[in-house]
């Protein structure tokens, strides 16, 4: 069929992703375009096996039908199809049903690949379109779970390969070679003692000149991170990213080792998933490369959120990505300025520590320094803090408006200085003192010396267990405003553009405060709210039903907040506040129930703290 090049050029200039092509690329697309008039009589000639092509509907109406006769998509002017086979190499199995005759433009595989190669925006469009199509297909097949939600036990690649701790290094290396693995679990009497990796052999044996007759107990990694077979692949991914490791022992519920999961196993389970994004951040060669990779995070998270059942995973993933950016920036600083001159711990506070970050979250971080530090060493860490905090800001994690960052010397202290500061907060519990202390209690080690951080965090937990201090926190929580009035009515605040309820300040944050207080009373040190509630299950402070109610309220509010932020992305609407009138009847009912749970929990705090529990 003859083509009017000017007509098709005008059409392509208004049709994504062709509208993003430059002059030369558009001319190439025009030169290689073909046009065909499609009707019921010749529709079978489209989408033929062995002839993959990209199709663009110029006119007419068509249905895309799968091999089982199921309707997949209605195609009208401006719609594209055929690209999945071009991207994946899959056999063409779908058919076209012409509902109204029309014209299709098409491009062969060579042309499609040429445009992908020379136009990043063209390439990005089809990768995103393919990912969305995969999600649509996945849901149409019974709402299959995202790969990250699968149980680890379902995907362990091979049976357990282990050695005893008395095995010689020589024997262990021979077993690794014979089994074609890069790591071995060290197991004694059915219990995990350690892990031996090729990195251990390289760094602790060869580089140190250790005799190959020495037992592996001398060079293995003792007390390694591990995961249970019943946990999800996302849990494994998070642990491996946090610890910067590539091999993770897997245990059953009796703590018996059953296998190993590796980053390779994870990569085999995914398409274009978090592990690739994390690896890209890790492998960034310099600060600018890291910033460029980080710019992909918001779009990825929006796509990720659409396909996971538990939207709370978005917060965990974003926190994990922020951890990765932080560690990479620390490494880049050390490459330029040398290794840290003394022990330190880089700490995340707030939402990053709790792993419930959102796209609107800002930085909250600090540095814990060794007590024997000198002035020159302090200057080194001041430089590190400036480099990392400004780098995170350029990566999209904005600077903290309250200046709770390691680049502020008030949040960069030695262990002794931190303890002294805590004692001041406890003895003089002003509103600011309570706020700052609660920020620190939600802390998590990101990089540096684990024993230094753990010792200090446990010490601070003991300092906090003073009735007067806990009572002041309890009173502070009791004064927080829950937007629920008489007759269970939602109370909104009038702002420019509407009447809103701040889901973060009046909901999520109060639950975090309540659960944090109970955790302080029990001496718990984990930062995440769900993990704290799990640890409080057998506590005398919370009944099983109250515990479950708080968890469900927190989950609902965090999901509502994240869903709202994804919906308003690119608008000027407030990121943490919602207009109840925009919610469904069910959502408003659930919102009222969540606030009622919070109010009841506030009253419980007043009763329990008042009685000195």
How high is the pLDDT of residue 267? 65
Residue 446 and residue 297 in one domain: yes
Q: How far is CA 353 from the centre of its chain?
A: 12
Residue 259 and residue 154 in one domain: yes
Rounded Cα–Cα distance for residues 242 and 321 (Å): 9
How high is the pLDDT of residue 130? 64
Residue located via tokens 């600060």: 287
Rounded Cα–Cα distance for residues 461 and 57 (Å): 65
Q: Indicate the number of domains in the chain.
A: 4
How high is the pLDDT of residue 469? 86
**For residue 285, what are the domain limits?**
274-463
Spans in the chain with pLDDT lower than 70: 1-4, 88-89, 128, 130-149, 157, 267-276, 306-311, 496-497, 610-613
Q: Map residue 142 onto helix, strand or coil.
A: coil
Instruction: CATH number of the domain at 561, please.
Output: 1.20.120
CA terminus-to-terminus distance, the chain? 84
Rounded Cα–Cα distance for residues 243 and 513 (Å): 28
The reply to whether 468 falls in a domain is no
Rounded Cα–Cα distance for residues 591 and 385 (Å): 40
Instruction: CATH number of the domain at 236, please.
Output: 3.10.580.10
Q: Map residue 438 onto helix, strand or coil.
A: helix
Residue 457 and residue 562 in one domain: no
How high is the pLDDT of residue 272? 44
Residue 433 and residue 308 in one domain: yes
How high is the pLDDT of residue 140? 44
Tokens for 314? 């978005």
Residue 455 and residue 495 in one domain: no
């Amino acid at each position: 069929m003859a083509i009017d090049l000017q007509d098709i050029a005008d059409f392509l200039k208004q049709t994504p992703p062709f509208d993003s092509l430059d002059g030369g690329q558009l001319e190439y697309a025009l030169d290689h375009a073909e046009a065909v008039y499609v009707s019921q009589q010749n529709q079978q000639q489209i989408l033929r096996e062995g002839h993959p092509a990209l199709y663009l509907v110029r006119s007419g109406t068509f249905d895309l039908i799968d091999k089982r006769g199921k309707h997949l998509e209605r195609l009208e002017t401006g719609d594209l199809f055929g690209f999945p086979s071009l991207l994946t190499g899959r056999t063409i199995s779908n058919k076209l049903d012409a509902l109204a005759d029309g014209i299709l433009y098409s491009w062969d595989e060579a042309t499609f690949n040429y445009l992908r190669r020379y136009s990043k925006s063209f390439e990005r469009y089809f990768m995103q379109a393919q990912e969305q199509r995969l999600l649509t297909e996945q849901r149409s097949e019974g709402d299959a779970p995202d790969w990250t939600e699968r149980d680890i036990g379902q995907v362990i690649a091979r049976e357990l390969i282990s050695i005893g701790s008395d095995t010689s290094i020589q024997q262990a290396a021979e077993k690794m070679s014979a089994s074609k693995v890069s790591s071995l679990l060290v197991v004694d009497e059915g219990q995990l003692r350690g892990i031996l990796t090729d990195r251990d052999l390289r760094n602790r044996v060869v580089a140190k000149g250790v005799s190959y007759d020495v037992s592996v107990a001398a060079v293995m990694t003792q007390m390694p991170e591990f995961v249970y077979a019943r946990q999800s692949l996302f849990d494994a991914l998070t642990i491996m990213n946090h610890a910067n490791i590539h091999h993770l022992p897997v245990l059953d519920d009796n703590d018996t080792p059953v296998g190993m999961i590796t980053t390779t196993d994870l990569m085999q389970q995914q398409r274009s998933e978090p592990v690739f994004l994390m690896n890209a951040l890790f492998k960034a060669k310099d600060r600018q490369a890291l910033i460029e990779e980080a710019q992909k995070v918001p779009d990825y998270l929006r796509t990720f959120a659409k396909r996971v059942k538990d939207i709370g995973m978005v917060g965990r993933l974003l926190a994990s990505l922020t951890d990765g950016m932080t560690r990479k920036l620390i490494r880049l600083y050390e490459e330029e300025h040398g290794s840290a001159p003394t022990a330190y711990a880089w700490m995340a506070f707030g939402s990053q520590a709790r792993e419930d970050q959102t796209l609107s979250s800002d930085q909250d971080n600090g540095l814990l320094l060794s007590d024997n530090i000198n002035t020159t060493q302090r200057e080194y860490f001041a430089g590190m803090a400036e480099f990392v905090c400004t780098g995170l800001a350029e990566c999209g994690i904005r600077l903290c408006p309250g200046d709770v960052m390691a680049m502020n010397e008030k949040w960069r202290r030695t262990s002794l200085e931190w303890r002294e500061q805590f004692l001041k907060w406890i003895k003089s519990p002003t509103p600011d003192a309570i706020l700052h202390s609660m920020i620190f209690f939600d802390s998590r080690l990101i990089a540096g010396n684990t024993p230094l951080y753990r010792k200090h965090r446990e010490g601070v937990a003991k300092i906090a267990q003073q009735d007067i201090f806990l009572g002041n926190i309890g009173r502070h929580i009791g004064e927080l405003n829950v937007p629920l009035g008489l007759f269970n009515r939602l109370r909104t605040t009038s702002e420019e553009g509407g009447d809103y309820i701040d889901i973060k300040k009046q909901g999520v944050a109060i639950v975090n405060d309540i659960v944090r207080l109970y955790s302080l009373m029990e001496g718990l040190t984990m930062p995440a709210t769900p993990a704290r509630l799990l640890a409080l299950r057998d506590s005398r402070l919370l009944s099983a039903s109250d515990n479950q109610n708080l968890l469900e309220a927190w989950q609902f509010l965090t999901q509502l907040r994240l869903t709202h932020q994804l919906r308003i992305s690119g608008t000027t609407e407030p990121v943490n506040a919602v207009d109840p009138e925009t919610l469904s009847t069910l959502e408003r009912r659930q919102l009222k129930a969540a606030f009622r749970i919070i109010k009841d929990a506030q009253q419980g705090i007043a009763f329990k703290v008042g009685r000195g529990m």
